Amino acid sequence: MTESNKCILIVEDNPVLARILGLILEKVPLEYDVVTDGESAISAAKAKPYGAVLMDIMLPKMDGMQATKEIRSLSDQTAKMPIIAVTGRISQHSEQEYRDAGLTDVIKKPVNTSNLLALLSHHISTDEDAGAITEAKGWSGKDTFDVKELDQVNFTTVAEYHSILEDDFLPLLDKYLAAGGDVLSELCNSIGLNDAEKVEFIAHKFKSTSLVFGAERVSHLAAQIEIMGRRKHLAEAGETLGELSWQLDLAQVVLQKKADEIRS
């Protein structure tokens, strides 16, 4: 990349995941901008020659695939610019859909440091940039967690993101713990209204955030509800929501205990 386009564009509506991506880029260091929807991504790409784009797929206003198609048509520079799908939905079929839409590559959420930097290193155009990224891949965080209550929380994941987020970790964890009840209420109301699109959107976002904090059972159940919303089949969503509520209660107890330990 030249000096004029060393900046990376992050397109992500989940503030926790956007912050994680940004902090990983800071380890290189690479500059970055953040936008939260597909239309804003197009406007940003018009205004500035980015070195690459990290593109969420499920976005408000315009999804990541449509935004990619629009960005590709803007100029010769955007037609060749690496645009990497950052998504929790990866299968052989979906990967082909992403590439057909013009995406260069794909990485699965939740993103970790080594995987993202390896992918960026592969797509960076100069030896100097690739070398800086490769060097940053060797960075590892200093914080560790006691491996307890693993049935509820994956503490390897927690350690990874605590290392990445550093001082931002606890405020974001506190926000996640506080928001759980509101998310369940929103899902309950949306299921009651048979609003499948809203159910899918809320569950997708909660699934991704739960993975960051190691709440894998919660994330798995949220993923089930997301699929029900996508298929517009909510008949069993209420029952799954009840199980999700139970698993969230258990995970919150463990995560609150861990938050208290970190503060002490």
List the structure tokens of 213. 């904090």
Distance in angstroms between the alpha carbons of the first and the last residue of the chain: 44
Write the single-letter amino acid at 216: E
pLDDT at 147 (0 to 100): 36
pLDDT digits (tens, 9 = 90+) for 206-256: 999 999 999 999 999 999 999 999 999 999 898 899 889 888 988 998 999
Q: Is the pLDDT at 136 greater than 70, yes or no?
A: no
pLDDT at 5 (0 to 100): 57
Spatial distance between the Cα atoms of 264 and 212, rounded to a whole number of angstroms = 22
Q: Is the pLDDT at 88 greater than 60, yes or no?
A: yes
pLDDT at 144 (0 to 100): 35
pLDDT at 142 (0 to 100): 36
Q: Is the pLDDT at 190 greater than 70, yes or no?
A: yes
Map out the domains of the chain with their CATH numbers.
3-136 (3.40.50.2300), 155-263 (1.20.120.160)
pLDDT at 57 (0 to 100): 93
Spatial distance between the Cα atoms of 9 and 34, rounded to a whole number of angstroms = 6
Instruction: Please list, in sequence order, all residues whose beta carbon lies within 8 angstroms of the beta carbon of residue 195, skipping any fewer than 6 positions away.
Output: none
Owner of token pair 């405020």:
171
Q: Is the pLDDT at 126 greater than 90, yes or no?
A: no
Q: What is the pTM of this model?
A: 0.69
- The mean pLDDT of 42-62, rounded to a whole number, is 95
Write the single-letter amino acid at 191: I
Q: What percent of the chain has pLDDT over 70?
A: 88
pLDDT at 134 (0 to 100): 58
CA distances from 134 to 31, 131, 181 (A): 16, 5, 41
Confidence of residue 44 (pLDDT cuts 50, 70, 90): very high
- The mean pLDDT of 37-41, rounded to a whole number, is 97
- Kindly report the average pLDDT of the chain as a whole number: 86
